[in-house]
Structure 1
Amino acid sequence: MTNNSSSAPPPSTHRKVALAGHNIAKRFGHVNALIDANVTVHAGEVVALFGDNGAGKSTFLKTLLGVHQPDEGKIIVDDQEVEMNSIRDAQNLGIDCVHQELALAPDISVVDNMFLGHEEMRHGGLGLLGALSRKDMTEKADAALRELSINLPSLKIAVRDLSGGQRQAVAVARAVMWSRSALLLDEPTAALGARQSEIVGDMMRTVASRGLGVLCVSHDLPRALKFADRVVILWRGETALDAPAAGLTVPDVVSTMVGYKKEEAA
């Protein structure tokens, strides 16, 4: 017979918060862009952030990245409340973002894009910095791409010569290289075809499996529902829904996005 009177503590159910914004409000003059926005992304989780135009998605994303400072509420990174005053602060906390415009330099190689702003230098005589450590950079870039199952014709090829899906993959891999807590994606499949969008979705799952929190802003509702663990919907600056993705349909999401359920409940 099993002894149930053991004094051992129960197993912990705490899930590490990779990134969260709690009760966020942000005003621009007389405009309330955010009123009471709440999003929590746990480590190892993919959260899809939905909302109609003007719901506050972009403002919320920029607040989580330190571009805007909230008028009310708090930001949590790795279970700790933090203050961010710039994108650099977010990056120092291990948060990076893949923007819709990608922010890649088209005329330089894949490796140089992966290390843009993070270049590694070889040490010369007397400990002085010399030329770029291209061998180390290439090996690290190759490892980062392989970890996400990204296959490119060459790491020396200029980014302009890659397909749209390949460019998106490079942007994601670069962000993952420098992220320690959370990865944010802003409309990552907006300009991609069906197959390329599937690849990006698979990459989001792979990134989450590494223990990062992933927050994806998207208008591609069917695909985002497929890859997300949880869905958060903003409605006029407030969180209108926070629910498991598995229990939602596209009509459910659309009705909440346009405010039908909220208005009926009022």
Structure 2
Amino acid sequence: MNNVERHQHIIREVNLKGHISVVELCESLGVSSVTIRKDLQFLEDSGLVYRTHGGVTKQNPYQTDRSVIEKEKLHEAEKRAIAKASANFVTPNDSIIIGSGTTTQFFAREIIPQGHLTVVTSALNVTLELLKHSNVEVIQLGGSVRHTSSSVTGQYAINTLEQFFCSKLFLGVDGIDLEYGISTTSAQEALLNQKMISVAQQVIVLADSSKFSRKSFGKIADFSNIDVIISNEIPSSFQELFDSLGIQTIVCK
């Protein structure tokens, strides 16, 4: 197999799987890791793929900050499906935490509260979605408001969370990386998310398929801190890892 044929094979595999490792490419093509790394460098220089630690992906692995208005228009159908599946986790008379993001905003729209529901949230857009329910008590965290996420961050919000313990945390993320874990574009938001995790009995991550094989500036946590991941599609390499860690996965179309 010549260079062109190898390049075509790599591109096909990346388009099919989203992410593929150097080891997998070496095995499928029967060549050395040195040859594969040269191929990947050529393809990345040509703007066809993005190299990651130990592999290659079809999308930019570094997620940058974008406004909530812009993000709300992306992957709407996927977010709506994830939101509907996530709403099934809300039980009668529940007490939950909802993090920031557009996927969690979609989730808030899908909630049909039974009995009295208490929601602690950092997200202003989530609060606005829940105000239509008379039997939902919303505890809006205070602090500095991030314009891009319509949410608050800072020590005041972290201190307030110390007063609560909730059954579930519904968390949106900007990146999910095999080695880096889950992350968000803001370091301050990551710190607040870490506190949310510490005061929740169950951590449920809501993420569409575009978040996989990406990492952002602020690391939130390792996968050992996650109980459930809900997505419209989970790459096979991630599914294998989640299965080995005992993380429940729900794939909704």
The alignment's TM-score, normalised by the length of structure 2, stands at: 0.32
Structure with bigger RCO (C-alpha 8 Å, 6+ apart): 1
- Which structure has more helix as a fraction of its residues? 2
Larger Rg: 1
